[in-house]
Structure 1
Amino acid sequence: MNDRHHLALEQIRITLGEVTLLELDAAVGPGEVLTVMGPSGSGKSTLLAFVAGFLAPAFQATGRIRLDGRDITRLPAERRGIGLLFQDPLLFPHLSVAGNLRFGMPRSTPDRSDRVEDALGEIGLAGFGDRDPATLSGGQQARVALMRLLLSAPCAVLLDEPFAKLDTHLRHEMRQLVFSRLHEAGLPSLLVTHDREDAEDAGGSLIQLSA
């Protein structure tokens, strides 16, 4: 496990006009998941946008985001070293499954093709590299999206209700897969969700926002 990655959200305050949406001060250690729950409009997705680096101009945010001790608050999104997992897998339709996995990999990754094959085996999709993503089931697409994220070698991960569109059985299976892989990789993660079972399976700290 990589034990060096730490995410710190220091005195974060996000406002919309005169309205304060949320105030937050938290630290997330390697392999830990911090869950933020709250109803629509409570600022969950806005928090993720701020941490990721694409906060809409209508919002104002103060505070510091530190990743491995480095202040990334003002860095552009592509230089923050943060990976994202959304409700939709967002696989590239013009690329094969293997092409999707290769897309996020650092150019310096040795033996990229072998790494892709190994990665597919790790998520139970050995031999699926040449497949069109559209031919995969929802659960298979979610696994490919997770592995693409991990292969991109992020230093922290943001999870935007990634299980919301899966059926009940798949949701539990994907929670176990996602949280175990993030833990193994030593990645601090921030999860926003409406679902208390997500928070329970994540096993970390929980912050409840009000509307």
Structure 2
Amino acid sequence: MTPDGKTDGLQLRRMTIGVAGRTLLSLTASVRPGEILTVMGPSGSGKSALLAALGGFLDTAFTASGEILIDGSDLTDIPAEKRGAGMLFQDALLFPHLSVGGNLLFGLSPAIHGADKRRHVVEEALAEIELTGFFDRDPATLSGGQKARVALQRTLLSAPRFLLLDEPFSKLDTDLRHQIRDLVFTRAKALKLPVVLVTHDQSDALAAGGETVTIGVEP
């Protein structure tokens, strides 16, 4: 714990991502609980590869070095399923064969036991995003904004230790982008989750309100 009573959050120490013998990025950063680190750069600069490295699922075509710590625990060599990373992508990626409630039950932490208790937690999660009564709905019937909200809750119900955002607002129209972005940032800050956001959009960085790092492709 740090002197102010907060945990250390997410620490990136000398993180380097490379491909085909070429260094894409080098980064050292600290993301405190409830804070958002924004990483900006053009396509091919390694933004998504950075998130994959943090999440533990970097493609073997890339190389990565450095240290990743969460609350002082070293995650560098820990497999993806044990890191506690929550992730949102450009698409909601809801399971089409499951209902809305089924999608949230899939994400719900196994630490919550009992069918009735788990159903209750999911119903409360739907109410939080103004989707009361949507438990049995087919995800295909949802609007883009509704799908984004369900994807967020599914991720948060897994009780992540930190959150990775891979341009999750980029396919939303302007008004909806603002709404979903505010929801994601507000929920992450309320839960004191360290967040790493990659984006092309300067307005995302401004809304995030934390440190912004700009990376580029080396010649």
Structure 1 length as normaliser, TM-score? 0.97
In the alignment, what sits opposite 2:167? 161
Identity rate, percent: 59
- C-alpha separation between the residues in 1 aligned to 2:181 and 2:135? 24
Matched residue type, 2:67? R
Query: Which of 139, 151, 162 lines up with 2:145 in the alignment?
Result: 139
Runs of 4 or more off by more than 3 Å in structure 1?
Answer: 2-5
Corresponding residue number in structure 2 for 1:116: 122
The answer to whether the 8 A contact 1:101-1:144 is kept is: yes
- SS of the residue corresponding to residue 17 of structure 2 reads strand
Paired residues, number: 210
- Is 1:73 matched with 2:76? yes
Compared CA separation, residues 5 and 106, structure 1 to 2 (3 A): farther
Q: Deviations over 1:31-84 (max 9, x none)?
A: 111000000011101101111111111211110000111111111110101010
Q: Secondary structure at 1:93's aligned position in 2?
A: coil
CA contact (8 A) 1:33 1:205 kept: yes
Match of 2:39 in 1: 36
Q: SS at 1:119's partner residue?
A: helix
Q: CA RMSD in A?
A: 1.2
| Equivalent position to 1:62, from 55, 65, 77 | 65
Unaligned runs of 5+ in 1: none
Instruction: Tell me, in whole angstroms, the C-alpha distance in 1 between the residues paired with 2:44 and 2:164.
Output: 18
Q: Report the Cα offset of residue 5 of structure 1.
A: 6.2
* Whole-angstrom CA distance in 1 between matches of 2:111 and 2:53: 29
Match of 1:128 among 130, 134, 143: 134
Whole-Å separation in 1 of the counterparts to 2:178 and 2:141: 23
Q: How far apart are the structure 1 equivalents of 2:210 and 2:128?
A: 25
Contact 1:30–1:183 (8 Å) recurs in 2: yes
Runs of at least 5 residues in structure 2 that lack an aligned partner in the other structure: none
Report the Cα distance in structure 1 between the residues aligned to 2:172 and 2:136, rounded to whole angstroms.
24
Residue 53 (structure 1) aligns with: 56
SS of equivalent residue, structure 1 residue 182 = helix
- Tell me, yes or no, if the aligned pair for 1:5 and 1:188 is still in contact at 8 Å: no
Quote the residue 2:85 is aligned against. 82
Q: 2:201 aligns with which of 189, 195, 201?
A: 195
| SS of corresponding position for 1:78 | helix
Counterpart of 2:15 in structure 1 is: 12
- For 1:15-35, what per-residue CA distance to the aligned partner results, in whole angstroms no more than 9, with x for missing partners? 113311000000100011100
- Give 1:3 deviation, angstroms: 4.5
Give the Cα separation in 2 of the matches to 1:4 and 1:90: 31
Summarize the Cα distance change of 1:104–1:55 in structure 2 as closer, same or farther, 3 Å threshold.
same
